[in-house]
């Protein structure tokens, strides 16, 4: 079971700047993730929160059942050492996903404080980034 965790403001997809984030809503994105997981013979469970502590609690809880994690922490990516430390505890492979290409946006978005504790990172592929993350995890899990 893959835990797919979306953080702050990702519930506003569809209303946020479509040039950066596209026009899919979060529930449409989650439906795609469930469909992609099915096509790849995987299972996924999606979670979104705007509360940093709730994301930390969920990472702790999911580390007990998830065989892999996909995480898009939103803006917490750039400054939350607490989320970084929670992800560091996770033994399963973790993929960091961003819809937009954070490397080519504002200076403050270019640094990810979680990058050194994740196993793979995908940015700038829009919703397909989550499919690429599932595919990457499927490959990684085939080797364990
Ligand atoms: C984001 C990029 C972050 O900089 C931003 O704060 C988000 C979304 C992305 O998916 O592109 O909320 O993580």
Residues of the chain with pLDDT under 50: none
Residue 81, pLDDT score: 98
SS3 103: helix
Q: Which residue in this structure is represented by tokens 């919703």?
A: 127
The reported pLDDT for the residue numbered 74 is: 98
What pLDDT score was predicted for residue 144?
A: 67
Catalytic residue check, 98: yes
What is the residue with the minimal CA distance to atom 6 of ligand 1?
75
The reported pLDDT for the residue numbered 104 is: 96
Cβ(99) – ligand 1 distance below 6 Å? yes
Cα 78 to ligand 1 centre (Å)? 9
Neighbours of 112 (CB within 10 A): 21
Hey, where are the domains in the chain?
Answer: 2-142
Whole-number Cα distances in Å, 106 to 6, 40, 46, 47: 21, 35, 28, 27
Ligand 1 pocket residue status of 32, Cβ below 6 Å: no
Distance CA 108, CA 31 (A): 31
Atom 2 of ligand 1: nearest residue by CA position: 74
Which residues 6+ apart lie within 8 Å of 96 measured at CB? 71, 72, 73, 77, 112, 114, 115, 118, 120, 121, 122, 123
What's the longest Cα–Cα distance across the chain?
A: 40
Q: Which atom of ligand 1 is nearest to the CA of 20?
A: 11
- For residue 26, the model assigns a pLDDT of 98
Q: What is the pLDDT of residue 115?
A: 98
Q: Which of the four CATH numbers 3.40.50.9100, 3.40.30.10, 3.90.1570.10, 3.40.630.30 does domain 2-142 have? A: 3.40.50.9100
């Amino acid at each position: 079971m893959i835990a797919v965790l979306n953080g702050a403001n990702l519930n506003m997809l569809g209303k946020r700047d479509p040039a950066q984030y596209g026009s899919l809503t979060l529930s449409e994105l989650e439906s795609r993730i469930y469909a992609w997981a099915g096509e790849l013979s995987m299972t996924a469970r999606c979670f979104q929160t705007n509360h940093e502590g709730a994301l930390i609690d969920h990472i702790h809880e999911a580390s007990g059942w998830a065989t892999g994690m996909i995480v898009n922490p939103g803006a917490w990516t750039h400054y939350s050492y607490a989320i970084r430390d929670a992800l560091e505890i996770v033994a399963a492979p973790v993929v960091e996903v961003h819809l937009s290409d954070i490397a080519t946006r504002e200076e403050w978005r270019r640094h990810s404080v979680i990058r050194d504790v994740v196993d793979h990172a995908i940015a700038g592929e829009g919703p397909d980034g989550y499919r690429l993350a599932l595919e990457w995890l499927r490959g990684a899990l085939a080797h364990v």
